């Protein structure tokens, strides 16, 4: 289950580390799918991957970090994209970051669909995913405030951040429910159009 994009040739040691990481992820997702998240132990995952328990915990300090192995990398990537072009106004910077990340998500379709199936079947993981989403929303709010510290600026940033989070959730849900076969960036653009046109009542 390759969840990283190779940027440059790797040395032998780095290749070995990456192979161990991938073996642990492959074993974890196979066992989770077969037995369930709570019914699978880290010891069983380590054994299936051919490594020691100690090695498994060195790569993944908690069992849930095996389910969300890319969370920190994705968050940092999202923050980079939010500041990719200093000339963009805050809302346009959000739009750019969300759609750029959507393109990258499509490259990890198989992993993300498998992850979603596991999360939807495990309430504990679903709750954890929602808490993780807050960090993405906080990053958006900070970008939308653009240094503004007034109460009005904070309120506006919170409302817009929550709205864009809705765009992300709606687009991802449709994409994942369809097995990741649709154009995720296209779904995102359509959702942004709905948001920007507003709702007539």
The verdict on 30 and 72 lying in the same domain is: no
Q: What is the pLDDT of residue 200?
A: 53
What does the alpha-carbon distance between residue 63 and residue 168 come to, in Å, rounded to a whole number?
26
Does residue 5 fall inside a structural domain? no
Same domain, 135 and 178: yes
- Provide the CATH number for the domain around residue 105: 1.10.357
Per run of 10 residues, the mean pLDDT along the chain (length 201 residues) is: 58 91 97 96 98 97 96 95 93 96 95 96 95 95 90 94 96 97 97 85 46
For residue 46, the domain's CATH number is 1.10.10.60
109 and 58 share one domain? no
Same structural domain, 23 and 88 = no
> Does 99 share its domain with 190?
yes
pLDDT at 66: 97
In a domain, 143, yes or no: yes
For residue 48, give its domain range. Answer: 12-66
Q: Are residues 17 and 101 in the same domain?
A: no
In a domain, 6, yes or no: no
b/e for 75-112, b at 16 or more Cβ within 10 A?
eeebbebbeeeeebebbebbbebbbbbbeebeebeebb
- 2 is a domain residue: no
Q: How far apart are CA 114 and CA 128, in angstroms?
A: 16
Q: Count the neighbouring beta carbons within 10 Å of the beta carbon of residue 121.
A: 13
Same domain, 112 and 137: yes
Predicted local confidence at residue 6, as pLDDT: 47
Question: Are residue 92 and residue 184 in the same domain, yes or no?
Answer: yes
Whether 90 and 46 map to the same domain: the answer is: no
143 with 127, same domain?
yes
């Amino acid at each position: 289950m390759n969840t990283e994009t190779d940027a440059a040739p790797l040395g032998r040691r780095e290749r070995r580390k990456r192979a161990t990481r991938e073996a642990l992820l492959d074993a974890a997702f196979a066992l989770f799918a077969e037995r369930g998240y709570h019914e699978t132990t880290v010891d069983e995952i380590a054994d299936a991957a051919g490594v020691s328990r100690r090695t498994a915990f060195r790569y993944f300090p908690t069992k849930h970090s095996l389910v969300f192995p890319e969370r920190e990398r994705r968050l940092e990537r999202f923050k980079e994209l939010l500041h990719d072009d200093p000339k963009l106004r805050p809302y346009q910077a959000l739009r750019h970051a969300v759609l750029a990340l959507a393109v990258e998500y499509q490259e990890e379709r198989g992993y993300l669909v498998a992850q979603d199936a596991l999360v939807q079947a495990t309430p504990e993981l679903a709750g954890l995913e929602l808490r993780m989403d807050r960090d993405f929303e906080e990053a958006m709010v900070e970008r939308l405030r653009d240094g503004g510290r007034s109460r009005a600026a904070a309120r506006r940033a919170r409302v817009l951040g929550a709205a864009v989070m809705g765009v992300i959730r709606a687009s991802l849900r449709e994409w994942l429910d369809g097995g990741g076969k649709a154009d995720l960036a296209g779904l995102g653009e359509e959702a942004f159009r709905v948001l920007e046109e507003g709702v007539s009542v």
